[in-house]
Amino acid sequence: MPRLWPSRVGGNFGQLGNRLKVRVFYHDKCFDGASSAALFSRFYRERIREDASFVFSGLLHRAGALFDESHFDGDENAIVDFKYSSSPKITWWFDHHESAFLSSADAAHFERDESNRKFYDPAFKSCTSFIAMIAQQRFGFDPGPVADLVHWTDIIDGALYADAKTAVEMQQPAMKLTMVIESAPDQGFVPNLIPLLAVKPLAAILEEPFVAPLLPPLMRRHEISIEILRQRSECKDGTIFFDITDQDLEGYNKFIPYYLHPESIYSVGLSKSSFRVKVSVGSNPWAPLEPAVNLAKICERYGGGGHARVGAISFNVNQHAAAIKASREIVNELRAAVRTQKG
């Protein structure tokens, strides 16, 4: 898909009042989502409006409507690392997911936009690095002070680890923060963390009083999740399947299946939270054969989406049977694709 960048610079922020409220919507329970919100707010304060105040609101993929327009209550409303909204109240948008548009009408709406404030490129490993590039090239922002954050969002969101062992052992501060963010204890946790991501070293954030106590129990939970997935996962024809909907494990480390089954090419997993049943579809970054199936396209057929190499589908919590049916169909499709690929 070509890069779809509007070309005309527009907007006059000098006309705004003395205090400007910027509400930033971001992909919740996601390191790249939180980092994108942090980088956007730093860029905005440095290059657009120094005295702006920020409110951070997490968005999650779920069955049904993803947006509530009554929440678009800022003087400016930005969406980062999440699907497009054609609402006129959304003034900034950045995303890098292949499945960025809920409809062809949304995609057409984006292509007509000439605000120079809505940007999309699925070629980027992370939305954070995409925002950093756009902010630097279009608005003169210096991403140097947040270079480490940008570096790690590319590694984590792009699965650029050296091997599965590195991804699962989680020695680096960014990887520990990812675990904390994905298991955020309450709705206020990530919004409190985001401003720190914009200004502090990642290792220092881990020492914050509201972060540090969370790590030991999360590491123990991580070790337990490895054992549960060892018992529950099965790999056949290069495709792993597991169902952990009876466990409180939606935030499990997504690389554990490949750590346990290095011979795999794809994985399909069922997990459950209070508001959804999730089908996670992924590919092994260290697979013995190059993945040949576009997983975003598969997930889109069931109302989900993602990237070519990783995607997901959210079902209502009372649609467990539909989620199981979809997961089984996808497993069968991927296993058949592997058999064909192997000849």
| Domains of the chain: residue spans and CATH | 13-206 (3.90.1640), 218-342 (3.10.310.30)
Model confidence at 248, pLDDT cuts 50, 70, 90, reads confident
pLDDT at residue number 12? 33
Average pLDDT estimate for 43-56:
96
The pLDDT of 296-324, averaged and rounded, is: 94
pLDDT tier at 21, thresholds 50, 70, 90: very high
How does residue 64 score in pLDDT terms, banded at 50, 70 and 90?
Answer: low
52 backbone dihedrals φ, ψ, rounded to 5°:
-70, 145
Q: According to the model, what pLDDT value does residue 18 have?
A: 63
HSE toward the beta carbon, residue 284, CA cutoff 13 A = 27
> Rounded to two decimals, what is the model's pTM?
0.83
Per-residue pLDDT, 147: 98
Work out the percent of the chain whose per-residue pLDDT is above 90. 87
Mean pLDDT of 193-212: 97
SS3 state of residue 290: coil
Q: Is the pLDDT of residue 141 over 90?
A: yes
Report whether pLDDT(63) > 80.
no
Mean pLDDT of 217-230: 95
- pLDDT, the chain, mean: 92
Interatomic CA distance for residues 208 and 262, integer angstroms? 36
Contact criterion met (CB below 8 Å) for 187 and 28:
no
Q: Distance between CA atoms of 293 and 271, rounded to whole angstroms?
A: 22
Mean pLDDT of 135-162: 97
SS (H, E, C) 14-67: HHCCCCCEEEEEEECCCHHHHHHHHHHHHHHHHHCCCCCEEEEEEECCCCCCCC
Least confident of 6-15, 18-27, 68-77, 122-131: 6-15
DSSP string, 124-182: SS-HHHHHHHHHHHHH----GGGHHHHHHHHHHHTT--SSHHHHHH--SHHHHHHHHHH
Q: Is the pLDDT of residue 4 over 60?
A: no
3 has a pLDDT exceeding 80? no
pLDDT on residue 62? 76
With 50 as the cut, is the pLDDT of residue 235 above it? yes
Q: With 70 as the cut, is the pLDDT of residue 2 above it? A: no
Q: What is the pLDDT of residue 65?
A: 72
The pLDDT assigned to 59 comes to 94
